[in-house]
A and B are shown apart, each in its own frame.
Chain A
Amino acid sequence: MSQEHNMRRVTAIRNGTVIDHIPAGHAMRVLEMLGIDRTSSVPVSMVMNVPSKKMGTKDIIKVEDRELNQDELNRLALVAPDAHVAIIRAYSVAEKLTIELGDEITNVVRCTFSNCITTNLREPLPHRLKILSMAPLELRCHYCGRPQDLDELVNNVI
Chain B
Amino acid sequence: MPGLITMDDLSNEEILSILEDAQRLLPVAEGNTYLPLLQGKILGNLFFEPSTRTRMSFETAMKRLGGDVVNLGDVKTSSVVKGETLFDTIQMVDGYTDIIAMRHPRQGAAQYAQDAARVPILNGGDGAGHHPTQTMLDLFTIQQAHGRLEGLTVILAGDLRYGRTVHSLSHALTRFGCELILASPSLLKMPAEIVSDLNAHGAKVTETEDLLGSIETADVVYMTRIQKERFADEDEYAKVAGAYKLHASNLDGAKENMIIMHPLPRVDEIHPSVDKTRHARYFEQAFNGVVARMALLCRLLNVEVPAKIGGDA
Given A116-B107, A117-B104, also A123-B129 (CB < 8 A)? no
Bound CA span A147–B112, Å: 17
Q: Is A91 an interface residue (CB 8 A)?
A: no
Task: Give the Cβ gap from A43 to chain B, nearest Cβ, in Å.
Answer: 41
Q: Which residues of A contact B105 (CB under 8 A)?
A: 115
Bound CA span A135–B129, Å: 27
Bound CA span A147–B108, Å: 13
Q: Which residues of B contact A14 (CB under 8 A)?
A: none
Task: Give the Cβ gap from A134 to chain B, nearest Cβ, in Å.
Answer: 17
Q: Is B224 an interface residue (CB 8 A)?
A: no
Flag if B108 contacts A141 (CB, 8 Å): yes
Task: Give the Cβ gap from A125 to chain B, nearest Cβ, in Å.
Answer: 6
Interface centre among A141, A142, A145 (most CB of B within 10 A): A145
Flag if B116 contacts A144 (CB, 8 Å): no
Q: Is A120 an interface residue (CB 8 A)?
A: yes
- Contact partner, B107, options A117, A125, A147, Cβ 8 Å: A117
Flag if B106 contacts A116 (CB, 8 Å): yes
Flag if B108 contacts A117 (CB, 8 Å): yes
Flag if A117 contacts B106 (CB, 8 Å): yes
Flag if B127 contacts A144 (CB, 8 Å): yes
Q: Which residue of B lies closest to A122 (CB)?
A: B85
Interface centre among A111, A119, A146 (most CB of B within 10 A): A146
Flag if A146 contacts B193 (CB, 8 Å): yes
Q: Which residues of A contact B126 (CB under 8 A)?
A: 117, 144
Flag if A123 contacts B85 (CB, 8 Å): yes
Task: Give the Cβ gap from A55 to chain B, nearest Cβ, in Å.
Answer: 28
- Contact partner, A145, options B83, B104, B106, B108, Cβ 8 Å: B108
Interface residues of B in 1-16 (CB under 8 A from A): 6
Flag if B86 contacts A123 (CB, 8 Å): yes
Between-chain CB contacts (< 8 Å), 7 pairs = A115-B105, A119-B106, A120-B86, A123-B85, A140-B193, A143-B107, A143-B111
Sorted nearest first, the 4 A-B pairs with minimum C-beta distance are A143-B108, A144-B108, A144-B107, A117-B106
Binding site for B on A (CB under 8 A): 111, 113, 115-120, 122-125, 140-147
